[in-house]
Amino acid sequence: MKQHRKLARVVAGAAVAALVLTGCRGGGDDTEAGPGVTEEACPEAVNEDNGCIYLGAISDLTKGPFAPLAVPITEAQKAFWDKVNQDGGVGGFDVNIDKYVADAEYNPEIHNKKYQEMRNDILALGQTLGSSQTLAILEDMKADNVIGVPASWNSAWDFEDQILQSGANYCFEAMNGVDWAVANRGVKGKVLAIHYPNDYGGDAAAGVEAAAKANNLDFKAIETATGQDNQAGAVAAVLKEKPSMLYITTGPAEMATILGGAAAQGWKGTVVGSSPTWNPALLQTEAAPALEAMYFQAGPWGPWGTESDGHAAMRDALADVDSPSDGYTAGWVWEYPLLAALKAAADMDGGITRENVVKAATELDSVDYEGMLPDEAFNQTGEPNDVAWRQSVISKVDKEAPTGVSIEQEMQAGPTAEGYDYTEPCFALG
């Protein structure tokens, strides 16, 4: 027993000592380029002679509602930068998005905490998942000159220079979803927006409301909390209101619970979900038949199986993946603007520094997405009303497709989104 105690004490002591020593101040990690960029090669570098750029990723990897999507997103982003490194890196640097990965459980508080932990060590955020979560750290990001790739599509990002958003935001996506359903599914009467009570849900609901108004539909919004156990209220609301269409903006499991629950009690209609509401694993659940009959996904770009150079490169890089999901697709597409900003900063005076990357990002007027999105989908240089990307795709459930969905309507903007006067974000809490 005594021996054990001694051993335990030695181990604990060593752990604490190591912790203290690794945290020592003035380690001299920073080169002249500043935080997140080192002359030293990355750990397990592809190009040993290159320096290293560290990107942070604050994601939802275990307990949160988007973990089934966020784990693939994070994997795809690693694969993306691995490919960049294999092609020689950026401006003499390899890019590492492996060292500073944090799990924030889709919680703004933990998100902020994780950002504080890595803020001095990263050049930029390769992923910051969630709308409210990213808003929680936005002020600090601005103070630090850190740009971020959001793992979300929010109309607020079109008005923020330091957030590099790809594809149409939830608000336009919802308008396109409703316009499509009215034109192609004969929706009339009432549309119900069921959404999380946060910036993600609010943004989509604002889009649904605008589209409902344009199409002369009755509109009602129902808020619902995270967690499959908390959806009884939403199901009851569907049965009471008897809408002809639902627009759902939750996590995948919550969407399936609501749709499945309402269908089981006899509700029929069209359901369109925001892009994060789909996860191919839903086809293994009891709700699968109802999903096949009624569910459509509004999304910013084609799913995994789409034909384009970028999609093909992604499938190559992720050839080992057993069960593809469009988390991979999103994670991959999102990184293109960051790559473009890093390339542009590398050519500037002073090379890749936080300041130069911010400057380069604000001057980007197009991004080479290798065909996954049109190049002009990304433009930071004009007024959002002129340059914001408004086109979405609509996908249907397709058991044969690799990620369980295939395109129903190719990329386009509906009349509501086209005509929307976009001088401020669709939605802001408070």
> Among residues 197 and 351, whose Cβ is nearest to other proteins?
197
The pair of three-digit structure tokens given for residue 290, joined into one six-digit string: 């109802």
> Among residues 148 and 310, whose Cβ is nearest to other proteins?
148
The pair of three-digit structure tokens given for residue 93, joined into one six-digit string: 């640097």
Q: How far is the CB of 19 from other proteins (least distance, A)?
A: 6
Q: Report the alpha-carbon distance of residue 134 to residue 148 in Å, rounded.
A: 9
Q: How far is the CB of 183 from other proteins (least distance, A)?
A: 33
Q: Report the alpha-carbon distance of residue 353 to residue 123 in Å, rounded.
A: 7
Q: How far is the CB of 109 from other proteins (least distance, A)?
A: 5
DSSP state of 428: -
> Among residues 195 and 315, whose Cβ is nearest to other proteins?
195
Provide CB contacts within 8 A for 329, sequence distance 6+: 76, 301, 302, 303, 304, 311, 314, 372, 403
- Closest of 130, 148, 115 to residue 69, by C-alpha: 130
* Residue ranges in contact with other proteins by CB under 8 A: 5, 8, 15-16, 18-20, 22-25, 27, 61-62, 103, 106-109, 111-113, 116-120, 132, 136-137, 140, 143-144, 196-199, 225-226, 428-430
> Among residues 252 and 269, whose Cβ is nearest to other proteins?
252
> Among residues 36 and 303, whose Cβ is nearest to other proteins?
36
> Among residues 106 and 332, whose Cβ is nearest to other proteins?
106
Cβ proximity of 190 and 242 under 8 Å: yes
* 75: Cα within 13 Å, side-chain hemisphere: 22
Cβ proximity of 329 and 311 under 8 Å: yes
Beta bridge mates, 397 = 405
Q: How far is the CB of 392 from other proteins (least distance, A)?
A: 24
Cβ proximity of 318 and 328 under 8 Å: yes
Q: How far is the CB of 9 from other proteins (least distance, A)?
A: 8
| Residue 41 Cα distances to 89, 177, 196, 345, angstroms | 11, 46, 43, 19
Q: How far is the CB of 217 from other proteins (least distance, A)?
A: 27
Q: How far is the CB of 192 from other proteins (least distance, A)?
A: 20
> Among residues 159 and 339, whose Cβ is nearest to other proteins?
159
Q: How far is the CB of 346 from other proteins (least distance, A)?
A: 26
Beta bridge mates, 56 = 100, 125
What are the backbone dihedrals phi and psi of residue 124, each rounded to the nearest 5 degrees, phi first? -155, 170
Beta bridge mates, 297 = 273, 395
> Among residues 228 and 308, whose Cβ is nearest to other proteins?
228
Q: How far is the CB of 119 from other proteins (least distance, A)?
A: 8
Task: Give the helix ranges, DSSP H, for 88-184.
Answer: 108-118, 131-144, 170-184
> Among residues 35 and 280, whose Cβ is nearest to other proteins?
35
| Cβ-based burial of 121 (10 A; exposed 0-12, middle 13-18, buried ≥19) | middle
Q: Report the alpha-carbon distance of residue 46 to residue 82 in Å, rounded.
A: 8
Dihedral of the alpha carbons of 12, 18, 19, 21, in degrees to the nearest 10:
140
